[in-house]
A and B are shown apart, each in its own frame.
Chain A
Amino acid sequence: MSRQASLGSVASVLRWLPLAIFALLVIGFAALSPRFLSLANLGAILVQSSWLIVVALGMNLALLSAGVDLSVGAVMYLAACAVGLALAHAPVWICMVTSIATGAVFGALNATLIVRLGLPAFIVTLATTFIGRGLGLFLSSTRIVYASAGVADLGRASLFGLPVPLLIAVAATFIGWVILNRTPFGPYVRSIGAEAEGARRVGVPITTVKWSVYTLCGAFAGLGGFISLSQTSAASGAFGQNAEFLAIAAAVLGGTSLFGGRGNLWAPVIGAVLIMTVQNGLAMMNANPYAYPVVTGAVIFLAALFDSIRSRLQARLERRAICPEPIGPVRSG
């Protein structure tokens, strides 16, 4: 029993280690750059994080179901193309709805391939990443697409003193919270992530749930693309590139497992802010821009490493005992 207990405490230390490392980084940045901890800079970090928070919220769902969606970056680009090419004069809210719908349709395509053909999510979304980005490049003739003035203004606008991109991220987080914590969908997704066959035996409608997971993930990615476009006003062929990597990293940094089932709603939110904080801190320090991916990559690698060690420990803790304790003759009372 004591051995089990010590395994359990090692597992919980590993759970918090990424956040501890992050805290050290923040202290380091603050020591090296006085401007880093200024209120204006911290606010800027949150605004910069908005698009990643939204994309990571969707990715979090896919990871919780023991799946993944590598196509979120391509979806962001497709959404930007849809808004920039077809809706130059449309009202802003139509642009936003169109982005979400573009993502949802693309996500539904992923879901159909995954659920109907029974292909691994990794393979399907790896392929659709290239299809999606290729389609965007084809539609835009590889030229930069521009946001309409209305969309670009939205990216810089404020409401009640708060930047609109951040408000959209907060709204998306609230929707994610309702879905994950207040509907049956949350436990469904987690149970599938823990053991899909067991979930089926218990009566969880796993095809419907998986289908919803990838459609939602696409919708969140489309919205993330819209936020990012409103902030940058323009999207080149590289728009949204590596977003899938950052989104997975955000969820894992925040504590969602790469191996499914374990994690919560706040993980992608916290993780996204962490990643942006590190990038912001490096900029504040005037670090060599080529060092950004090295540092970000190292932080993410450590988070994934701790997660995998933790998952192995967890599996050993949850092994079913054969001779648990001496059992006397069983008699009905």
Chain B
Amino acid sequence: MTAPSTPLRLRVESLSKSFFGVQVLHGIGFEAHGGRVLGIVGENGSGKSTTMNLLTGVLPREGGTVLLDGKPFEPASRRESDAAGVAFIQQELNVFPNLSVAENLFLAHPPRRFAALPLVSRRRMYAQARELLHQVDLAVAPGALASTLSAGERQLLEIARGLSSEARVFILDEPTSSLTAREAARLFAIMRRLQQRGAAILYISHNLEEVLEIADDVLVMRDGRVTLSAASSGLNANDLVCAMVGRPIAALFPMRAARSATPAPLLEVAGLAEPGMLHDITLRVARGEIVGIAGLMGSGRSELARALFGLDRYSAGVVRVAGRQLSAGDIQGRIAAGLAFLTEDRRHEGLMPDATVADNMALAALPLFASRSGARISNDKLLQAMRSLGQRLNLKSGDIASTPVRTLSGGNQQKVVLGRWLLREPKVFILDEPTRGVDVGAKEEIYRLLAQMADAGMGVLMISSELEELTGLCDRILVMRRGTLAAEFERAHFDREAILRAAFGQDALGQESGA
């Protein structure tokens, strides 16, 4: 059904992938044509970036076929993918601040002085760099250190690096997220030039209006599946949002006990700010309340959580836990006041992989089991407490006194980390993506635990990229965007589309709010 001037460049069939035994891509299939832009949208974690990483050999594939200009395309690394003519401009900025602009541009394939010798021709490298910098309208010297560039300029540098290859397929993963309007307009002009050259462009973005405007075809992904694939003409932003959400909410979520009408606040935050990161954050979490924080990746959610727990600095604002005011950076004071924090990265949670489940859980609570002198630890009492905790967590594990924690599934490891904090009986628990990479069964148990803890009077502040779990579990949802709290929803008024629109910066359909 394509015009002769837009040949089929890329054909993807039933691409699949799983992480830690959890299927994240379920047979993705799509086509991209030369001279056309394919816009790809979806929520965080819907599998867009994973798909692109599989296409370009950054991650190994687990099934499916990819044809590039009709020939099988199976790169084992970025190098091979680049060489085959698929340029990938990634969401993570791979700009090295300690290298010069030109070195960044030609890092993997610098121009050589002689074909046979690995000597770099600085003259040619600088000349080609000037040409590329001119194309993206970036007025910096090729020899300047990349550390002197602003975030937007680094993004343009990343784009220029993609242009340095004579590619037939360009993949751009959220290229405009840190560009100014002028820089973005420049990018779109470049994309049109590439289109005219016959390149196929895969364009991933969170800006729905932008996608509808520049893409010829649109692909919507949800939970590792394609939910919509159509020409962009005739679609509006509402259609895209509907395709991005919309799945019956399974009965994963526990019933919550009724709460008193005016519960006491446990966590109070007023005017929290850090230049370039957080802007005037004011929120409160009451006794027995579960408050969710929604928002796109990079909207400042994790930075807020880290600042609240004292891991990162903030330059203004007040944080109170159970009425006690805490200074910035005072982690010990926060733990003493009853604050607990589960970070988004389980590998850095300090799980000791070869130690037993019991030892891992006991780590933070050892002082509680020490004899009065503080020197001796009562092993029997400790083990007894660990066994009852293991039961409470419903841990799927062998004997907790002998099973190393590395043999547990991702979900059960996460429960061990949760249990470690629970032993301290925190008053307020901040959790950053507590169910990431966790299978559905373990998810349900984590939800149950959180609900139990809240019903017992704890305050919970939970960051999640899964709207479904926020709307299913929370009493209130705060939406972050660009370092500010953009919206707040009470349980009675949970509206997934409205929440998404707030996160995307669209207060009303078709209209983008000024940031």
Interface residues of A (CB under 8 A from B): 3, 178, 182-185, 187-188, 190-191, 193-195, 198-205, 261-262, 314, 317-333
Contact = CB atoms under 8 A, between A and B. Distances in A.
A187 B279 contact: no
A332 B188 contact: yes
Contact of A262 (B77, B98, B151): B98
B276 A203 contact: no
14 contacts: A187-B107, A190-B99, A198-B92, A198-B96, A199-B96, A201-B92, A203-B108, A261-B98, A322-B299, A322-B483, A323-B484, A323-B515, A326-B514, A329-B514
Interface string B196-232: 0000000000010110011000000000000000000
Contact of B94 (A3, A198, A333): A198
B65 interface: no
Contacts of A321: 151, 178, 276-277
B483 A204 contact: no
Contacts of B207: 330
A193 B209 CA distance: 40
Contact of B185 (A193, A320, A326, A332): A332
B267 to A, nearest CB: 22
Given A202-B108, A319-B276, A320-B93, 13 more contacts: A182-B119, A187-B103, A187-B107, A194-B96, A201-B94, A314-B97, A318-B97, A321-B277, A327-B181, A328-B181, A330-B176, A332-B214, A333-B189
B99 to A, nearest CB: 6
Contacts of A326: 514-515
Q: Which 10 A-B pairs have the closest CB atoms?
A: A321-B276, A203-B108, A333-B185, A323-B483, A332-B188, A203-B78, A203-B79, A322-B483, A187-B103, A323-B482
B434 to A, nearest CB: 22
Contacts of B276: 319, 321-324
Interface string B160-187: 0100000000000000101111001110
A16 B420 CA distance: 46
B118 A185 contact: yes
B367 interface: no
Contacts of A183: 118-120
B147 interface: yes
B296 to A, nearest CB: 11
A318 B147 contact: yes
Given A203-B78, A326-B515, A330-B210, A191 B107 contact: yes
Nearest to A200: B78
A30 to B, nearest CB: 36
Nearest to A192: B96
B110 interface: yes
Contacts, number: 134
Contacts of B151: 320-321, 324
B140 to A, nearest CB: 16
Given A188-B107, A322-B300, A328-B181, A205 B79 contact: yes
B198 to A, nearest CB: 20
A330 B119 contact: no
Nearest to B192: A332
B497 interface: no
B512 interface: yes
A2 to B, nearest CB: 11
B275 interface: yes
Given A187-B99, A331-B185, A201 B90 contact: yes
A152 B107 CA distance: 44
B378 interface: no
Nearest to A64: B98
A330 B505 CA distance: 12
Max count, chain B CB within 10 A of own CB: residue among A184, A187, A322, A332: A322
A202 B96 CA distance: 11
A184 B120 contact: yes
A294 B298 CA distance: 49
A327 B96 contact: no
Contacts of A3: 275
B383 interface: no
A285 B507 CA distance: 77
B213 A332 contact: yes
B82 interface: yes
Contacts of A328: 181, 514-515
A244 B512 CA distance: 60
Interface in B298-331: 298-300, 303
A200 B32 CA distance: 26
Contacts of A324: 150-152, 178, 276
Contacts of A184: 107, 110, 118, 120
A329 B181 contact: yes
Contacts of A261: 96, 98
Contacts of B185: 330-333
Contacts of B93: 320
Contacts of A188: 107
B12 interface: no
Contacts of A204: 107-108
Contacts of A198: 92, 94, 96
Contacts of A200: 78
A313 to B, nearest CB: 12
B283 interface: no
Given A191-B96, A194-B97, A203-B108, A325 B180 contact: yes
A112 B295 CA distance: 45
A119 to B, nearest CB: 16
Given A202-B78, A202-B107, A202-B108, A331 B96 contact: no
Interface centre among B176, B189, B276, B298 (most CB of A within 10 A): B276
Contacts of B186: 333
Interface in B63-103: 77-79, 82, 90, 92-94, 96-99, 103
A323 B209 CA distance: 20
B97 A329 contact: no
A178 B113 CA distance: 13
B58 interface: yes
A181 B179 CA distance: 32
B480 to A, nearest CB: 9
A324 B180 CA distance: 10
A323 B277 contact: yes
Nearest to A262: B98
Given A201-B78, A332-B188, A333-B185, A322 B99 contact: no
A220 to B, nearest CB: 19
B210 A327 contact: no
Contact of B180 (A327, A332, A333): A327
